[in-house]
Amino acid sequence: EADIYQTPRYLVIGTGKKITLECSQTMGHDKMYWYQQDPGMELHLIHYSYGVNSTEKGDLSSESTVSRIRTEHFPLTLESARPSHTSQYLCASSRRDSTDTQYFGPGTRLTVL
């Protein structure tokens, strides 16, 4: 069982609200990732980080932003939620080597009304 945590697990919120999805890991991993997954579809990388103060956009364009102030913490923020943001958001982490297995958190199911 991987030591990577996400909160909240479920979030229902109205349009226009600002939200922050939390992700933390206790494995000391340098690399962290955020994925978006819709039902029956593949995971899409939206953000990643190589380490503290490093953040990059992924393959799928996203209006969200991320920060990496501490190694163990990689929060994702939506300044103004919209119904199109409704999805499952998965956080993952891995060691420095690019071939290392990514360990996933349980995910946050976001619904924007």
Partner 1 sequence: KNQVEQSPQSLIILEGKNCTLQCNYTVSPFSNLRWYKQDTGRGPVSLTIMTFSENTKSNGRYTATLDADTKQSSLHITASQLSDSASYICVVSDRGSTLGRLYFGRGTQLTVWP
The length of the chain, given as a count of residues: 113
Nearest distance from C-beta of residue 80 to partner 1, angstroms:
27
Cβ-contact 74, 49 below 8 angstroms: yes
Residue from 66, 90, 110, 112 touching partner 1 (CB under 8 A): that is: 90
Q: Are the CB atoms for 88 and 110 separated by under 8 Å?
A: yes
- State the number of binding residues for partner 1 (CB under 8 A): 23
Stretch binding partner 1 (CB under 8 A), from 12-20, 36-44, 63-71, 72-80? 36-44
Strands 108-112, 10-13: parallel, antiparallel or unpaired by DSSP? Answer: parallel
Residues lying near partner 1 in the complex (CB under 8 A) are found at: 2, 4, 40-45, 48, 90-92, 97-99, 101-107, 109
